[in-house]
């Protein structure tokens, strides 16, 4: 199916999110759509899949103009979108989800739905059985189910919005194989991402958006030099040399930030047992591994959200037996969650109100003091906001910088969950600049991410998690990208295995 847009325009208030976009996506190919955060990628995809209505211009499917008022109409016309967060019902099985999310005409009976699911999963190499409960599936598998649903409903154009966020490398590989197969069968695939290597790996063409407009002459065939794509995404002036400042080794001779001796802990059906670790002050430790291999347990142990069931955890030399997360916080541990607006910040409150909340003591709010602090944070951290801006109104990068700005100066240790999730390259680099400055001031930084480049670019030490086992502290300088990928996949893991064993039960 061919998909074209002609002079497509969508405005939100004064913002022209899509400004006279004209593009043509040929059938049987995978088309990359690149752009930094806020470039208008998501808006374009929502227009194509019927979640938004255009203010001007037209959408043509196989050269016929169509009006896609709502997602159902778009799906009937053959366009389906896979969202970043799969939309499904956790209490249902895969089959039940397929049934309740598909219109009656697509899957009239339960038996037909079951057959469709098995056939499509087999054809695409997806590992889903009809009776798997959704709660037991990973994000990657739920995404696979969503693709199966869209195909079962007759989609011949698939839109994937940042599909590799939060899924494992193996799942990404299987997704890419499935997408190639779908394209080979004549379907059109639109692949939205800001990860250049992924786009290079699977796309036949690429279109770059910047500030709501198509950059340059429009669609360009792949492969293209990475340099050129970066230029198109960020404009000519942007600095895009790879930020490999040689990672500094932990030179600090002070007390280690954390000492973990024989610690065991359980979270859900995952158990870490017999963990022995020393995390030095003034170093960045990256937690690598497939999603859900036990990294979460360690992160939660380090900030006191999870109590060890055995063993001893010392924070800066102090035994933390029986301590709550509040005690850890008083001990200088700050936790930066991945879900900024869910666990990190209070969306409707303003920047100044956040600083007021963080003022030590005092029954009456010192409004002036809070505002001064907010202003200092705005200039110091380059946050695009005023002290009276509700946090909700800030972009993801600005929210992340605000969260960093709120970390007290006497912080001894930072626990970050995907510190640059959803941020564009420039914002991510700014965040890491801040984190590195903290490290150089003697703060320990522990972070988990699914992005291998991030691990390699910024870690002093790497801990690899594989199927619930934890490696020793591996100095980054002695680790190649190839070796890291092998370890994450479990190749030669025994040679670096720490004593810890975690067993999924």
Nearer to other proteins, 223 or 408 (CB): 408
Nearer to other proteins, 337 or 422 (CB): 337
Of 49, 187, 224, 350, the one binding other proteins (CB under 8 A) is: 350
Nearer to other proteins, 406 or 446 (CB): 406
Region at 346 (left for phi over 0; alpha for psi -120 to 50; beta for the rest) = beta
Work out how close the CB of 365 gets to other proteins at its nearest, in angstroms, rounded to a whole number: 5
Nearer to other proteins, 303 or 487 (CB): 303
Q: End-to-end alpha-carbon separation of the chain, Å?
A: 46
Q: Does 89 bind other proteins (CB under 8 A)?
A: no
Contact call for residues 94 and 137 (beta carbons, < 8 A): yes
Region at 262 (left for phi over 0; alpha for psi -120 to 50; beta for the rest) = left
Helical segments of 127-273, H only = 139-152, 169-184, 196-202, 226-234
Q: What is the dihedral of CA 194, 195, 200, 202, to 10 degrees?
A: -90
CA-to-CA distance for 476 and 148, rounded, in angstroms?
40
CA-to-CA distance for 318 and 396, rounded, in angstroms?
36
CA atoms within 13 A on the CB side of 102: 29
Of 154, 262, 331, 347, the one binding other proteins (CB under 8 A) is: 347
Of 337, 397, 419, 468, the one binding other proteins (CB under 8 A) is: 337
**Window 361-390: residues binding other proteins (CB under 8 A):** 362-365, 388, 390
Of 118, 341, 436, 467, the one binding other proteins (CB under 8 A) is: 341
Q: Does 53 bind other proteins (CB under 8 A)?
A: no
Tokens representing residue 311 in the block: 């063993």
Nearer to other proteins, 116 or 389 (CB): 389
Q: Does 356 bind other proteins (CB under 8 A)?
A: yes
Q: Does 358 bind other proteins (CB under 8 A)?
A: yes
Q: Does 342 bind other proteins (CB under 8 A)?
A: yes
- C-alpha dist (Å) from residue 453 to 109, 340, 425, 482: 46, 22, 12, 11
CA-to-CA distance for 444 and 143, rounded, in angstroms?
35
Binding mask 218-247 for other proteins (x = CB under 8 A): ------------------------------
Q: Does 13 bind other proteins (CB under 8 A)?
A: no
Contact call for residues 105 and 152 (beta carbons, < 8 A): no
Binding mask 295-334 for other proteins (x = CB under 8 A): ------------------------------xx--x-----
Point out which residues bind other proteins (CB under 8 A).
Answer: 325-326, 329, 335, 337, 341-350, 353-354, 356-359, 362-365, 388, 390, 406
């Amino acid at each position: 199916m061919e998909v074209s847009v002609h002079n497509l325009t969508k405005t939100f208030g004064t913002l022209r999110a899509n400004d006279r976009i004209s593009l043509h996506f040929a059938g049987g190919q995978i088309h990359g759509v690149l752009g930094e955060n806020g470039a208008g990628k998501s808006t374009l995809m929502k227009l194509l899949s019927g979640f938004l209505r255009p203010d001007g211009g037209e959408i043509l499917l196989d050269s016929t103009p169509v009006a896609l008022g709502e997602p159902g109409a778009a799906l009937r016309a053959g366009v389906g979108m896979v969202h970043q967060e799969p939309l499904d019902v956790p209490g249902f099985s895969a089959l039940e989800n397929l049934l309740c999310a598909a219109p009656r005409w697509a899957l009239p009976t339960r038996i037909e739905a079951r057959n469709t699911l098995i056939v499509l999963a087999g054809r695409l190499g997806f590992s889903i059985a009809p009776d798997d409960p959704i709660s037991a599936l990973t994000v990657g598998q739920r995404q696979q189910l969503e693709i199966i649903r869209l195909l079962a409903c007759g989609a011949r154009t698939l839109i994937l919005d940042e599909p590799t966020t939060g899924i494992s490398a193996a799942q990404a590989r299987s997704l890419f194989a499935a997408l190639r197969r779908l394209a080979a069968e004549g379907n059109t695939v639109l692949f939205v991402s800001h990860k250049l290597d992924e786009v290079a790996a699977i796309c036949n063409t690429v279109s770059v958006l910047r500030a709501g407009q198509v950059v340059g002459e429009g669609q360009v065939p792949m492969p293209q030099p990475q340099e050129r794509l970066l230029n198109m995404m960020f404009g000519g002036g942007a600095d895009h040399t790879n930020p490999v400042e040689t990672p500094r080794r932990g030179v600090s001779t002070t007390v280690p930030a954390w000492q973990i001796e024989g610690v065991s802990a359980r979270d859900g059906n995952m158990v870490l047992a017999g963990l022995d670790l020393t995390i030095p002050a003034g170093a960045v430790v990256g937690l690598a591994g497939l999603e859900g291999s036990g990294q979460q347990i360690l992160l939660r142990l380090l900030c006191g959200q999870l109590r060890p069931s055995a063993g001893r955890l010392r924070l800066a030399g102090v035994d933390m037996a029986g301590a709550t997360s509040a005690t850890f916080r008083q001990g200088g541990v700050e936790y930066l969650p991945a879900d900024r607006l869910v666990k990190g910040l209070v969306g409707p409150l303003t920047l100044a109100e956040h600083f007021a909340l963080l003022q030590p003591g005092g029954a009456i709010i010192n409004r002036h003091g809070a505002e001064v602090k907010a202003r200092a944070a705005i200039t110091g951290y380059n946050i695009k906001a005023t002290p009276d801006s509700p946090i909700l109104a800030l972009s993801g990068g600005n929210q992340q910088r605000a969260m960093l700005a709120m970390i007290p100066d006497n912080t001894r240790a930072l626990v970050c969950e995907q510190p640059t999730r959803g941020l564009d390259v420039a914002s991510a680099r700014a965040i890491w600049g801040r984190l590195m400055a903290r490290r150089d001031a003697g703060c320990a930084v522990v972070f988990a991410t699914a992005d291998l480049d991030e691990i390699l670019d910024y870690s002093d030490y790497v801990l690899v998690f594989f199927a619930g086992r934890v490696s020793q502290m591996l100095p980054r300088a002695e680790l190649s990208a190839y070796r890291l990928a092998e370890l994450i996949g479990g190749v030669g893991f025994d040679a670096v295995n720490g004593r810890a064993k975690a067993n999924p039960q």
